[in-house]
Amino acid sequence: MAGEPQEGLGAGVVHRARIPLRWRAAPDDAVPDAQTNARVLRLALALDEWPRRGEPADEPGADPALARIERRLDLILELMGLWLAREGGAPPPRAVAWRLDALRWEGDGRPAPGQRVFVELVLDPRLPAPLVLAGRAGGDGTVILEPAPPPVAELLERYLFRQHRRTVARARAGGAPAAPPGASDF
């Protein structure tokens, strides 16, 4: 995939990141569990909003005792997520370029063109389950994603936009590159 243009993903917001990813063949009549996907996206968005370790609380005058409890819960969730990942054999992180309607990743082991697949994405190691998206492999290595049910589609759009916006903001601030290593080749 190195050197391939991004045109396969079309126009619009593209989120680039290193995300643990695994794919598997999917029967034509199987659908991802919308409730689980909505729950995973809600949790990922909520974890994103919590103050990170070492960051001041968003609210001035926030209760320090509550902040300590939140840090402890954060730690417990992170440890539980790492434990679950180890037990379940978490997939390797890959450079991913991802839109609401298409996904492309670096590395070997791609589905055959026309094959229907489930793509599992671990959005945060603290989450106990991956996000599972259904799609069909294109000839250029891109998986064209099937439309998700409305609640999942809305959460997914919000998640992708927020991640894209953060990446752009970090790049403008000079803190981090606009894309992780390898993802700029998509």
**Is 185 a member of any domain?**
no
Q: Residue 171 pLDDT more than 90?
A: no
Average pLDDT, the chain: 80
Distance CA 24, CA 108 (A): 14
Share of the chain above pLDDT 90, in %: 41
**Is 77 a member of any domain?**
no
pLDDT of 13 reads 85
pLDDT of 48 reads 77
**Is 172 a member of any domain?**
yes
Q: Residue 14 pLDDT more than 80?
A: yes
Work out how many domains the chain is built from and give that number: 1
**Is 65 a member of any domain?**
no
Residue 143 confidence class, pLDDT cut points 50, 70, 90: very high
Q: Are strands 102-105 and 116-121 parallel, antiparallel or unpaired?
A: unpaired
**Is 67 a member of any domain?**
no
pLDDT of 94 reads 92
Q: Residue 44 pLDDT more than 60?
A: yes
Biggest alpha carbon–alpha carbon distance for the chain: 56
Q: How many CB atoms lie within 10 A of CB 129?
A: 17
| Domain span at 28 | 15-49+92-176
- Residue 151: give its domain's CATH number: 2.40.10
**Is 39 a member of any domain?**
yes
**Is 62 a member of any domain?**
no
Q: Are strands 143-145 and 116-121 parallel, antiparallel or unpaired?
A: unpaired
The residues near 21 (Cβ < 8 Å, ≥ 6 apart) are: 91, 92, 93, 94, 96, 105, 119, 120, 121, 122
pLDDT: which is higher, 26 or 87: 26
pLDDT of 141 reads 83
Considering the entire predicted model, what is its pTM? 0.73
Q: Does residue 160 sit in helix, strand or coil?
A: helix
pLDDT of 67 reads 75
**Is 43 a member of any domain?**
yes
Q: Does residue 163 sit in helix, strand or coil?
A: helix
Average pLDDT over residues 94-107: 92
DSSP 100: S
